Structure 1
Amino acid sequence: MAPASLSGSSPAEALLSAHHRKKQPEQVRRALLDCAAQIAAEQGASAITIQAVAERAGVTKGGLLHHFDSKQTLLAAVFEDLLDKMDQEIDRTLADDPLARGRFTRAYVRACFSDRLLGERSLWAALSVAIVSEPALCSLWSTWLDGRMAQHAETDGDQRLVAVRLAADGVWLADMMEKDGGLKRYPQDFEAVLLAMAAT
């Protein structure tokens, strides 16, 4: 339910020589996250392994484990990175919305619909099953949502707006369970219906 488009170029191509990488740990960490995200978007979250990510990033397994000590840690970092991008997208949308009431809900709906047309190539779609089955990811999601709701309680606490956000979550769930059927059942223009409900 969020921004998940990935650039066409491989992060591994952006990495420098092994000698130079040692001096740029943040660049290596960024490349590892990008490579893990690409693997998830292409093959699903279950395809994220220490070996697969290390190979794609052009580092040793030991080099990867220096940054992420397990697959679960790496998966959580990919998810946190995705939440970070969702935050940025929502904040940009909030800044452009002059109506205070329901501002966060409208931004949330837009984020939920932003990459639906990517289908299984969406990183959110790829991580959906992992979110449901991995308690650590569920906890990250709940913490993120609780923080946002506390921040926007005054403008978005109304039960009608809660219902709109739950409807957006329902579309995400339908997409996850029904694949292309979700788009047929709830076409992309359903976003406009939810946005209109959040504006009244």
Structure 2
Amino acid sequence: MTLAHKRPKDPDGVRRGLLSHASAIAAGKGLNDVTITAVASAAGVTKGALFHHFANKDALIEAMFDHQLQQLDVRLDALMDADPIHHGRFTRAYVLSATSVGDDDRETWGALSSVLIPGSDLCQRWYAWLDARLDVHQTTDSGTHLEIVRLAADGAWLMAITRTAICDMERLRERLTAMTSP
């Protein structure tokens, strides 16, 4: 009698793997190619296993988006922790993050941005995330001046993810960061 090797259960690992493979597909081929079949195959699991974690493709895309936001939170928190000046700290971290998008993030955010249309669930998720962050940092990052800097950073982020270099990004980063000083 032969005993079959049984893989240890690791639902969190499977979920992370599914999100990682979905992000890789989105980054490499675009969001349209993020299909249930493609992601399950890339992750080495059945479609049923994928459906255990995500009800459908929309739920998978939302989870990818939430994962990107969680990574952004980690990056912003680390940048803020390293910043000794309290006034404008969140805005400076936001500018630094928006103007230094890495290749992996650029491709994934680029794919996800295609569904960030006004009124969409993901667009509402983005604004809810930003509103929550701004609520936390209202004593240090409120005011029209810093809002304008963040909006300019959004434009720089869009240039970065679309690889539209109409200005010197490093110089823009320096100028926007300087505008956050008290």
Give the Å deviation of 1:63: 1.0
Deviations 1:66-108 (A, max 9, x none): 1101000000001001100000000000000011100000000
Please point out which of 51, 55, 78 is paired with 2:37: 51
Following superposition of structure 1 onto structure 2, how do residues 50-69 of structure 1 map, counting pairs within 5 Å? 50-69=36-55
Equivalent residue letter for 2:39:
V
Structure 1 counterpart of 2:84? 98
Q: What is the CA-CA distance between 1:186 and the residue it aligns to?
A: 2.4
Unaligned runs of 5+ in 2: none
| Alpha-carbon RMSD | 2.1
Cα distance, 1:86–1:120 mapped onto 2, change above 3 Å: closer
Give runs of aligned pairs for residues 22-101 of structure 1, distance below 5 A: 23-101=9-87
2:178 equivalent to 1:192: no
CA distance in 2, matches of 1:55, 1:134: 32
The alignment's TM-score, normalised by the length of structure 2, stands at 0.90
Identity, in percent, stands at 41
Which structure is larger by alpha-carbon Rg, 1 or 2?
2
Q: What SS is found at the alignment partner of 2:117?
A: helix
TM-score of the superposed pair, with normalisation by structure 1? 0.82
On the 8 A contact 2:19/2:60 being kept in 1, the answer is: yes
CA contact (8 A) 1:115 1:122 kept: no
Secondary structure, aligned partner of 1:131: coil
Q: Tell me how far apart the structure 1 counterparts of residues 123 and 51 of structure 2 sit (CA, whole Å).
A: 23
Residues in 2 aligned to 1:133 and 1:28: alpha-carbon distance in whole angstroms: 32
- Rounded to whole Å, the distance in 2 between the matches of 1:121 and 1:101 is 28
**Whole-angstrom CA distance in 1 between matches of 2:118 and 2:94:** 23
Measure, in 2, the Cα distance between the counterparts of 1:48 and 1:92: 31
Q: 1:194 to 1:18 in 2, by over 3 A?
A: farther
Residue 121 of structure 1, CA deviation: 5.1
* Structure 1 outlier segments of 4+, above 4 Å: none
Paired positions, count = 178
